[in-house]
Amino acid sequence: MLEGLMIGLQTAINPFNLGMVVFGCIIGTFIGMLPGLGPMSIIAIMIPIAITLGDPTAALILLAGVYYGAIFGGSTSSILLNAPGVAGTVATSFDGYPMARKGQAGKALTIAAVSSFMGGTIGAVLLMVFAPMLSSVALLFHSAEYFALMVVGLSAIAAFAGTGQVGKAVMMTLLGLMMATVGEGALAAMPRFTAGILDLQSGFSFITLAMAMFALPEAMFLVMNPARSAQGGSDEDKSGTINNMRFSRAEGRAIAPVIGRQSVQGFFIGVLPGAGATIASFLGYAVERNLATKEEQAEFGKGSIKGLAAPETANNAACTGSFVPLLTLGIPGSGTTAILLGALLALNVTPGPRLMVDEPQVFWAVIISMYIGNLVLLVLNLPLIPYIAKVLSIPRNYLIPFILFFTLMGAYIGQNNSTELLILVGFGVIATILRFADYPLAPLLIGFILGTMLEDNFSRSMQLYQGLGFILERPMTLGLLVLAAFLVVLPTYRAARARNRAKGVADGD
């Protein structure tokens, strides 16, 4: 392994390849900030450029840089504008955006940058040490376990089921799950609930719904709430003022264990070809919320630093983990890695068990470039954060049109289909009304994102086991489902008990 490391280091450190990492990171970060252009489309755009380089190592290093940059760039728009461009950064906006509203945009971006860096770096160490052994881990999960894993991921909604909100959160989740059934499912060539509209054939697109549920209502709120649009803002809205870029030592200590746990957990979820960064971020969020103390738990969803660090660490670690099935088995676990696989094959590199033996310089150079890519991103972005965060101090009459343009473009750009804009505006109005009625919108989006995968894996298991037998026959499935029940029931029970006790005291009981 040391020998391999040396080979990789030599390859990656040469000035041209270093230049490729920096170039890739910059391109990725800036394009990644635009919603609608996730890592997948940016990599697809960059592939012809990478292939002209001719050298597979340089090409892969460039693409890895673009990939990391795009993931990182995606969290910026989640934090600043509540506009998650890819599903993997939805959980980032849960606490990142509230922090920005409290005037902590700079701190939130710093925490995101540091968590991403740590997640990516620890992930790369795990990849380096364990990659050959992990190929069997990647094949451990069957559809039944993936189904159970999605159920665990769904438990992240508990964070939005605070006092008196349980019913509302459940309703929103169910609505999200229902919306995921629109269109032609992966398991039957039959359009469902499309009302004969051709544009709904492939279902609602993630980016349109994310913009409609998160970014658009925020912009509408800013327009409609005069207190907020007044100069200087009200007490609750200090997003224009950007103070404290850095987090304190105490805060650093608080998020350190979160980063440690989520790096490992996120990495292993990323290794599974049927899971990935999105599931990792929701699971990370749910798990860390349950591990937090009661006071910290109340902060989740309202600007908790732990709630921000958890998904940011987990999604980066998972992206690194997703290289395990790609490099050691030749199996792409996500759309992005499928495109990377195509690029590798185009460069005459066949990923699989023999890659490490046949072309060690490619394998090791990719891993080394992950370290370098993560480091470059951190170095590149930390000094830029004050400038990026200043976006929020733009006067509202300029900022709001900018956000609206941003969201409309995000919904349109992916599909080049103007119907997306109608869907966006329609759901944007509904979402704004729901927000006024104090319904949490995050559970809807979580339900929508997980719904398709939940349904696919569930019906596949049903078909393989000719019924529900898989729940009892597969111990790991049962274990995960019990864990999910535990994650949902325990906090609700604790909250109810706390409420009863408080009432008891008030009543003088």
Partner 1 sequence: MKFTRRVMMTAAAAMVAFSGAAQADGHQVLDELHFLIPGGAGGGWDGTARGTGEALTEAGLVGSASYENMSGGGGGVAIAHMIENADSMGNTMMVNSTPIVIRSLTGVFPQSFRDLTLVAGTIGDYAALVVQSDSPITSMEDLLTTYRADATSFAIGGGSVPGGMDHLVAAMAMQAAGEDPTGFNYIPYDAGGAAMAGLLSGEIQALSTGFSEAVALAEQGEVRILGVTAPDRIAGSDAPTMMEQGVDVEFVNWRGFFAAPGLDEETVGNMRAAIAAMYETEEWEAVRARNGWVNIHNPGDEFEAFLENQEQVIGDLMRTLGFL
Binding site for partner 1 (CB under 8 A): 15-16, 18-20, 23, 40-41, 43-45, 48-49, 51-53, 138-143, 184-189, 191, 198-199, 201-202, 273-274, 325, 329-333, 335, 337-339, 341-342, 345-347, 350-355, 414-417, 419, 456, 460, 463-464, 466
In which residue are the tokens 């006024």 written? 436
- Residue with Cβ nearer partner 1 (189 or 250): 189
- Residue with Cβ nearer partner 1 (26 or 174): 26
- Minimum CB–partner distance for residue 98 and partner 1 (Å): 32
In which residue are the tokens 């998904």 written? 311
User: What is the b/e burial string over 278-305, where b = at least 16 CB atoms within 10 angstroms of the residue's CB?
Assistant: bbbbbbbbbbbbbebeeebbebbbebbb
In sequence order, the β-bridge partners of residue 203 are none
A 10 A CB-CB count for 51 gives: 14
What span, in angstroms and rounded, lies between the C-alpha atoms of 403 and 327? 39
DSSP string covering 207-249: HHHHIIIIIHHHHHHHHH-HHHHSTT--SS--TT-----SPPH
What span, in angstroms and rounded, lies between the C-alpha atoms of 92 and 112? 8
- Minimum CB–partner distance for residue 213 and partner 1 (Å): 21
- Minimum CB–partner distance for residue 172 and partner 1 (Å): 25
Cβ-Cβ contacts under 8 Å for 247 (sequence gap 6 or more): 107, 110, 111, 255, 305
- Residue with Cβ nearer partner 1 (226 or 475): 475
- Minimum CB–partner distance for residue 456 and partner 1 (Å): 6
- Residue with Cβ nearer partner 1 (339 or 389): 339
What span, in angstroms and rounded, lies between the C-alpha atoms of 74 and 32? 5
What span, in angstroms and rounded, lies between the C-alpha atoms of 104 and 245? 8
- Minimum CB–partner distance for residue 209 and partner 1 (Å): 15
- Residue with Cβ nearer partner 1 (50 or 113): 50
Between the alpha carbon of residue 327 and those of residues 63, 257, 331, the distances in Å are: 14, 29, 8
- Minimum CB–partner distance for residue 198 and partner 1 (Å): 4
- Residue with Cβ nearer partner 1 (110 or 337): 337
What span, in angstroms and rounded, lies between the C-alpha atoms of 345 and 41? 18
- Minimum CB–partner distance for residue 316 and partner 1 (Å): 21
- Residue with Cβ nearer partner 1 (208 or 313): 208
Cβ-Cβ contacts under 8 Å for 282 (sequence gap 6 or more): 90, 91, 153, 154, 156, 311, 446, 449, 450
- Residue with Cβ nearer partner 1 (100 or 362): 362
The token pair at 3 is 């020998």
A 10 A CB-CB count for 252 gives: 14
- Minimum CB–partner distance for residue 199 and partner 1 (Å): 5
What span, in angstroms and rounded, lies between the C-alpha atoms of 14 and 18? 6
- Residue with Cβ nearer partner 1 (33 or 138): 138
Closest CA to 32 of 388, 357, 367, 477: 388
- Minimum CB–partner distance for residue 460 and partner 1 (Å): 6
Contact between 240 and 246 (Cβ < 8 Å):
no
A 10 A CB-CB count for 384 gives: 13
Contact between 344 and 61 (Cβ < 8 Å):
no
- Minimum CB–partner distance for residue 65 and partner 1 (Å): 12
Closest CA to 82 of 432, 413, 334, 325: 432
What span, in angstroms and rounded, lies between the C-alpha atoms of 210 and 200? 16
- Residue with Cβ nearer partner 1 (189 or 505): 189
- Residue with Cβ nearer partner 1 (33 or 242): 33
- Minimum CB–partner distance for residue 167 and partner 1 (Å): 33
- Minimum CB–partner distance for residue 438 and partner 1 (Å): 35
- Residue with Cβ nearer partner 1 (230 or 345): 345
What span, in angstroms and rounded, lies between the C-alpha atoms of 88 and 278? 4
- Minimum CB–partner distance for residue 52 and partner 1 (Å): 5
- Residue with Cβ nearer partner 1 (220 or 355): 355
